[in-house]
Chain A
């Protein structure tokens, strides 16, 4: 009997695996790409708040929580390279966001240019859908007298993943595809 059961399981396994595969229609792909852009915009807003010395610690803490929720998990990495040097910084997202809280500027402005590009969603063999969002950012740090202490322009390539997720809210569980942000590659352009 056991042998029969295990044989049956082996036969069923491909079907079971297939059942977990996402198969998105084009309109769904479009909807998730839109949501991914919204999450990237939310990330931009969150970064601005984290960098802002005038914001309260309580607000920054809430912002950190919301920002981390945008990502697949806290193991996602931010890789930063510089045009001027060979130095490459490689940090977990939590560490990166925390570092922004301690920047030495009185005030910062983070400007995201209205050219946000989503690459085509591609299906991986794990059944998840992957794409990259490219955004262009101008970061300016101001000193106490309002003088510009630092300015850079960067291109950020942000991984996005659409995957079947279980979201728990209170005592309810929801199983459905959701889009999350993955690793970020930052390229300093100027």
Chain B
């Protein structure tokens, strides 16, 4: 018994480390449980009432405005069994209590507070108690020795949930169909448990759902990746290009001395990443209101020297969308006058190694 409880806790707690929205809930229900014969003579049994209670965990897989898909595991107590008329014509109730662990995929459909739910899955169960009760109320505790020590089956349920507080109140109609004959050792033929029930419960949900990403967000994500790569290369390049300065903060004034092809630092900057990083630093200096006019002018001249001419093209992007075009000379005036911080994401270079076109996006 303890082993079962421990397994249940482990199953539920695994949700706490998963990504996506998680939920923890409790369910209680009543149903009519019976047995049905499979490939044998029909049984002369009728349904008996049974109660159930369960503790479950939800793990969000997909979450959009109108649809949520979740993976649900549960540990619960289920009463199953049947009733039959004995030889004397008296009704006898035969019950088996199970610890049941369903695993289902749950869909919650709808945009409003009230949503429809659908669950499809399977369960595994083990009997923990068996009894027989006659119509006079006399109860005889049965032995588990003659019962199959496990049951597996399928679950199908549908219902409604109503958003309340951090989670939802729900009601479902569930059908659990066993595949294993629990009484194989005792009864001829092959019979299985079948247990329709109606449940009521509450689930509390936590964490942010993982929404379906649009193509546009993918583009933005790619752009952010590029910016990250450039940043990393910047950090590496700082150690290479400015060995004297161990500080992580770039001093825009220092760029004043970076000029001319004879300069060793400029030579190092001819690498692809190096060039982009230098350019971005120069853009920062030009846009910085704290930097003096002379330094800004020097940086602007150096920038222009790296392009095929003052009419080289600058393409402005917002979230991956092309929104404007400037010539490089106009663009430098634009960022200087307005103190807008832009970074390069892409460039085209001609045969002479000079840039003919760049793509930029704003970072402040």
A touches B (Cβ under 8 A): yes
Interface of B is mostly: mixed
Question: Can you name 18 A-B pairs with beta carbons within 8 Å?
Answer: A27-B321, A31-B319, A31-B323, A34-B319, A35-B316, A41-B338, A45-B337, A45-B338, A46-B337, A46-B338, A49-B337, A62-B333, A167-B325, A169-B326, A170-B309, A174-B313, A174-B325, A178-B324
On whether the beta carbons of A32 and B321 are closer than 8 Å, the reply is yes
CB–CB B313/A31 < 8 A: no
Contacts from A to B (Cβ < 8 Å): 25, 27-28, 30-32, 34-35, 38, 41-42, 45-46, 49, 62-63, 66, 69, 167, 169-172, 174, 176, 178-179
Which chain B positions have C-beta within 8 A of A69?
330
Which residues of B are at the interface with A, using a C-beta cutoff of 8 A?
Answer: 214, 216, 309, 311-313, 316, 318-327, 330, 333-334, 337-340, 362
User: Given A35-B324, A170-B309, are A66 and B334 also a contact pair (CB < 8 Å)?
Assistant: yes
Cα(A185)–Cα(B132), bound, Å: 88
Further pairs besides A27-B214, A32-B323, A63-B337: 20, Cβ < 8 Å: A25-B216, A27-B321, A30-B319, A31-B320, A32-B318, A34-B318, A34-B323, A38-B340, A42-B334, A42-B337, A45-B339, A69-B330, A167-B325, A169-B326, A170-B309, A170-B327, A171-B311, A172-B311, A172-B313, A174-B325
Task: Specify which chain A residues have a CB less than 8 angstroms from the CB of B312 in the assembled complex.
Answer: 170
How many pairs, one residue from A and one from B, have CB atoms within 8 Å of each other in the complex?
Answer: 68
Beta-carbon contact of B311 and A169 below 8 Å: yes
Q: Is the interface of A mostly helix, strand, loop or mixed?
A: helix
Chain B residues, CB < 8 A from A49: 337
Chain B residue numbers with a CB within 8 Å of A62 are 333, 337
A185 vs chain B, min Cβ distance (A)? 23
Identify the closest chain A residue to B357 (Cβ). A172
Q: Name the residue of chain B whose CB is nearest to the CB of A170.
A: B311
Q: For the complex, what is the distance from the CA of A69 to the CA of B340, rounded to whole Å?
A: 17
